[in-house]
Amino acid sequence: MNHRSIYDIFKKRKSNRFFDKTKKIPRKKILSILENANYAPNSCNLQHFSFILVDQKQLITKLAKESTEKINWSPMTLVAINDTRFSKKRSAGIQSVAASIQNIILSFEENKMGACWIAGFKNDQFIKDTLNIPKYYEITGLIIIGYKKKRIKDDYRPFKRKKDELLHVNSYDNDKKNINPSLFLHKWKFNELIEYKDRIGSVYIPRQKLNVYTHQIAKSSSDIFLNFITKNFLNTSKMDILDIATYEGSFVREINKKIKTNLYISEFSDYYLSLYKKIYKKIKTIKINKEYKIVSIRKKKFNFISLIFKIEFLPNIKKLLSETYKITHKNGYMYITSLTIFNLRCLFYLAQRLMPKSNVYEMNRLYQFGPYRYFTKYNIEKMIKESNWKIVEKGVEGKFFNKFNWWILKKY
Ligand SMILES: Cc1cc2nc3c(=O)[nH]c(=O)nc-3n(C[C@H](O)[C@H](O)[C@H](O)COP(=O)(O)O)c2cc1C
């Protein structure tokens, strides 16, 4: 007998994306869980939604290929369908299916099984044809289900707002935190940027998956850095390196794998700092504020500062360059990398800005990073020249879509 309260289940449930693919949930069990969909409130009790269980391997492969690879993550998928002939006003049909899906998902958690609600899929017509779904149905969502695969990395909840951010009393309160849809960085307040990254990045960062640049780019940018420090520093184990606005951490991971140094990760948000403490047990963390000042330790200086593919996503670079200068030892360095316009994702992003309807999330390949602004190589060098830093080495690395610019600056 399970004595967990429904509140425990709300808190315990999180989207599960890693399944034991060798083990299917018995059909009888699925049916008993699905029954709970019926107990959800729904528009005028019409109950015009249903679920199709897909558990045949060939069918899963076929749908995954044409619709979304996510179907392949689990040994079975429920396809939630809604009869669109009813409950059109206020999307009441969709509201009803959504309520029933939530009941199902919580019931899987109650049974200690995994589920993930999926709306990121394409080719609805292909799914409909393959599963013989009548034309008046829409596919509202997919739910991938199965037994959870235990992974340490998955032990983190995505960021959740504090409860008092959720509720407005008697009238809309403009002071509550919100996210900004604008694609233009200059329209964002710094707090909005942090809030956005807390919300969205926390879905991907525990999986270390942000995909803004390829692994090849991450690797070559760390190789340039490693070459430089092995040439210029006799004892790398005594070096203090600070990575600015670490976020997805691909650079620090590479460095940490290859050499022994005192590596510091820095971020603006408490969420990431506590997450990093758990993920990178041996790397130290530092909190910085919107003025790029260190707030968590005092009077610390570094031999090297790195700013890896973040310059385009951060406001006030002038300030960043002057603050990093202050916290670097004399004869210390800074390493900057920046994607070129040939990166397809950046090009795509810039094209989006011409479309008035696009927002920072939907259809935007850089959405996990937030608003992006393109800097030419000339723009970046101009900002460096206006600072106290001096460029000592620079270059362009990679071919075609993997091309990026890099600079090593020195404090004399
Ligand atoms: C309507 C909807 C669509 C979603 N689509 C996807 C999706 O396409 N892929 C995915 O991995 N997760 C998807 N999710 C899961 C969300 O990413 C997840 O609920 C959110 O990050 C909060 O995390 P949690 O469920 O672990 O609390 C979706 C959730 C909802 C409600």
Region of 258 on the Ramachandran plot (φ > 0 left; ψ -120 to 50 alpha; else beta): alpha
Region of 316 on the Ramachandran plot (φ > 0 left; ψ -120 to 50 alpha; else beta): left
103, exposed or middle or buried, with CB in 10 Å at 0-12, 13-18, 19+? middle
Q: pTM of the predicted model, to two decimals?
A: 0.89
Pocket test for ligand 1, best of 69, 101, 118 (most atoms within 8 A of CB): 118
Q: State the virtual CA torsion across 290, 295, 299, 302 in degrees, nearest 10.
A: -60
Whole-number Å distance, alpha carbon 53 to ligand 1 midpoint, is 19
Q: What is the predicted pLDDT for the residue at 235? A: 84
Residue whose CA is at the smallest distance from ligand 1 atom 15:
117
Strands 302-308 and 328-339: parallel
Residue whose CA is at the smallest distance from ligand 1 atom 10:
118
Beta bridge partners of 19: 148
What tokens does 290 get?
Answer: 């919107």
Pocket test for ligand 1, best of 12, 15, 69, 139 (most atoms within 8 A of CB): 15
Whole-number Å distance, alpha carbon 402 to ligand 1 midpoint, is 30
Pocket test for ligand 1, best of 10, 116, 196 (most atoms within 8 A of CB): 116
Q: What is the predicted pLDDT for the residue at 190? A: 93
Residue whose CA is at the smallest distance from ligand 1 atom 2:
119
pLDDT tens digits, residue range 210-256? 777 888 888 999 999 999 999 988 788 889 999 999 998 889 999 99
Residue whose CA is at the smallest distance from ligand 1 atom 18:
15
CB distance 283 to 294 below 8 Å? no
Q: What is the predicted pLDDT for the residue at 205? A: 85
Residue whose CA is at the smallest distance from ligand 1 atom 7:
118
What is the CATH architecture assignment of 207-410? 3-Layer(aba) Sandwich (3.40)
Per-residue pLDDT of the chain (412 residues; tens, 9 = 90+): 456 799 999 999 999 999 999 999 999 999 999 999 999 999 999 999 999 999 999 999 999 999 999 999 999 999 999 999 999 999 999 999 999 999 999 999 999 999 999 999 999 999 999 999 999 999 999 999 999 998 655 678 899 999 999 999 999 999 988 889 999 999 999 999 999 999 999 998 877 777 778 888 889 999 999 999 999 887 888 899 999 999 988 899 999 999 989 999 999 999 999 988 888 888 999 999 999 999 988 889 999 999 999 999 999 999 999 999 999 999 999 999 998 888 887 888 888 878 778 889 987 888 889 998 889 999 999 999 999 999 999 999 998 888 999 999 999 9
Pocket test for ligand 1, best of 67, 95, 151, 203 (most atoms within 8 A of CB): 203
Whole-number Å distance, alpha carbon 311 to ligand 1 midpoint, is 29
**For the CA of 121, the nearest atom of ligand 1:** 8
Beta bridge partners of 363: none
The torsion angles phi and psi of 331, rounded to 5 degrees, stand at 65, 15
Q: Where in the chain is the domain with CATH 3.40.50.150?
A: 207-410
Q: What is the predicted pLDDT for the residue at 2? A: 56
Q: Where in the chain is the domain with CATH 3.40.109.10?
A: 6-150
**For the CA of 158, the nearest atom of ligand 1:** 23
Residue 131: which residues within 8 A CB-CB, separation 6 or more? 52, 54, 79
Whole-number Å distance, alpha carbon 51 to ligand 1 midpoint, is 18
282, exposed or middle or buried, with CB in 10 Å at 0-12, 13-18, 19+? exposed
Residue whose CA is at the smallest distance from ligand 1 atom 9:
118
Whole-number Å distance, alpha carbon 390 to ligand 1 midpoint, is 45
CA distance 241 to 254: 13
Sheet strands side by side (includes 404-410): 284-287, 262-267, 240-243, 302-308, 328-339, 404-410, 390-397
CA distance 312 to 356: 21
Whole-number Å distance, alpha carbon 13 to ligand 1 midpoint, is 12
Region of 117 on the Ramachandran plot (φ > 0 left; ψ -120 to 50 alpha; else beta): beta
The dihedral of CA 122, 125, 130, 135: what is its sign? positive
pLDDT tens digits, residue range 321-344? 999 999 999 999 999 999 888 888
**For the CA of 120, the nearest atom of ligand 1:** 8
Whole-number Å distance, alpha carbon 401 to ligand 1 midpoint, is 30
Q: What is the predicted pLDDT for the residue at 154? A: 61
Residue whose CA is at the smallest distance from ligand 1 atom 12:
118
Task: Report H helices in 183-311.
Answer: 190-204, 215-232, 250-258, 270-279
CA distance 215 to 225: 16
Whole-number Å distance, alpha carbon 102 to ligand 1 midpoint, is 12
CA distance 48 to 95: 12
**Domain range 6-150, CATH class:** alpha beta
Which residues contact ligand 1 via a Cβ below 6 A? Answer: 14-15, 17, 70, 116-120, 158, 203
- Helix or strand holding residue 51 (H, E): strand 49-54
Whole-number Å distance, alpha carbon 116 to ligand 1 midpoint, is 7
CA distance 384 to 381: 5
Whole-number Å distance, alpha carbon 68 to ligand 1 midpoint, is 14
